[in-house]
Amino acid sequence: MNRHAVGNELVVFVTQWGLMLVGFGILTKFVAPLNLLNPSLSLGLYFDAAVKALIALVLSVTWLFVWDRQVRLYFHRRGK
């Protein structure tokens, strides 16, 4: 077993796990309670949901970007 690679992967997983929990925390505590549009307006509920989904998408892409950089830092340069 390549202990070094396994160790690096474990660090990646634990880091991404922590970041994911923080991301969901931001969504729960700050994004979800926002009242961006009055739900009584026509399609207000849907626009509100769409904007919040967009914020969640941006957070997800940021999370994957950090994951990408971390793996490349640990593995890609070593392979060259």
Partner 1 sequence: MPSLGANTVAILIALGSFPVSLGLTRFLMYWNSKHGITGIDVHKLNRPKVPEMVGAAVPITLILFAAIYALTGGASSIALLAYSLVVGLAALVGAVDDRLKMRGIFKPLLTLLCGLPLLVLGLAFPGEIYASTLHVPLFGSYHLPVIYPLTILVAVSVTSNTVNMLDPLNGSMAGSISIVAGGLLIGSLLIGTGSMPIFLYASLMFSLLGFLYYNRFPARAFAGNVGQLSIGASVGALAILGKTEIASIVAIFPNIQNSFFFLSRIRRFTEHRELTARPTKLLPDGRLADSEDPRAPLTLVRTLLIGRPATENEIVSTLWMLFLTSASLAVITLLLTGVML
Binding residues for partner 1, rule: CB under 8 A, are 1-2, 5-6, 8-10, 12-14, 16-17, 20-21, 24-25, 27-29, 32-33, 45-46, 49, 52-53, 56, 64, 67-68, 71-72, 74-76, 78-80
Residues 6+ apart with CB under 8 A from 45: 37, 39
The Cα-based distances of 50 to 19, 21, 23, 44 in angstroms read 23, 22, 18, 10
CB of 38 to partner 1, least distance (A): 15
Q: Which is nearer to partner 1, 41 or 53 (CB)?
A: 53
